[in-house]
Amino acid sequence: MTANISTVLGFPPTGFPQVIVVGIAYDIKNMADWAAWRTRDFTPVADAETEQYWEGRLRKMTGDTTIQVETGGAPRFLSFICDELIPYIESEYPVSKEDRALGGYSYGGLFSLFSLFERPGMFQRYFAGSPSTEYANRVLFEMEKTYSESHTDLPVRLFLSYGALEEEWMAGVNEMAAVLESRNYPALQVWTHVFEGEWHASAYPASIMRAFVTLYGE
C-alpha cells in the first residue's frame, strides 16, 4: 500500500519526488506470528506487562496456549536496518545517502521515534502514525530527555498523526510534539495532524498519504 501511494502521488508527473519504498516483511504462518514478531521488533525495551497482554490475546484468538511474545527487540532490529539493509540498498539502487526516511504506524510509530533518538542522523524524515508513546512507562520521553541533554539541534522533518477517536493516543502524541518544539532546535520541523472521525485502524491509510505529502512537500 505504501509503495502504491508513493506511485500515485507521482503519476502522471506532478513534481512529487521519486521515492524508493523499502518494506520489511515476515514469513508468517498466521496473524498471530505477525502480531508477536512486530511487538518484538518495534519495542525499545522489554516490558512484561506488554508480553502478558499479547500472549493472553493471541492465545485466546488462536486457541494455542504455547504462544510466547517477546519485547525489547527494537535495538537489534534498528541495527539490522542501519548496518545491513541500508548499505545493501545503497549499493544496489540510485538512492540518496543524505535523504533517508523512516515511517511506521502504531508500534511502528513507536519504533520510528525510538530510532530518531537512538540513531540520530541516520534518517532525515520521519513518520510516526498513532505511535505508542506510553509504552513501558513512557520510555520514549526518557530517551527524548537524554537526547536533549547532549544535543543542540535535531535536523529532521517529523510528521505525527492520530485519529480523533483514538483517545488513548491523543495526549502522548501532542505531548511529544510540544516537548520537541520546546527545545527550540533550529533545524527541526514538526507537524501533527488529527484525522477527524477516524480510529486506530481507519486512520492508517490516510496517515500514510498525508505523511508523504507533508514530509516531501516544499
Domain ranges of the chain: 2-216
* Rounded Cα–Cα distance for residues 29 and 92 (Å): 30
Q: Which CATH architecture has domain 2-216?
A: 3-Layer(aba) Sandwich (3.40)
Report which of residues 8 and 192 the model is more confident about: 192
pLDDT tens, position by position, 107-154:
999 999 999 999 999 999 999 999 999 999 999 999 999 999 999 999
Copy the grid coordinates of residue 217. 512537500
pLDDT tens, position by position, 40-93:
999 999 999 999 999 999 999 999 999 999 999 999 999 999 999 999 999 999
On the 0-12 / 13-18 / 19+ scale of CB atoms within 10 A, 165 is: middle
Cα angle: 157, vertex 163, 166; to 5 degrees:
120
The reported pLDDT for the residue numbered 1 is 76
On the 0-12 / 13-18 / 19+ scale of CB atoms within 10 A, 125 is: buried
Residue 169 reports pLDDT greater than 90 = no
The reported pLDDT for the residue numbered 218 is 63
Report which of residues 89 and 218 the model is more confident about: 89
Q: What is the CA radius of gyration of the chain?
A: 17
Mean pLDDT of 161-182: 94
The reported pLDDT for the residue numbered 58 is 96
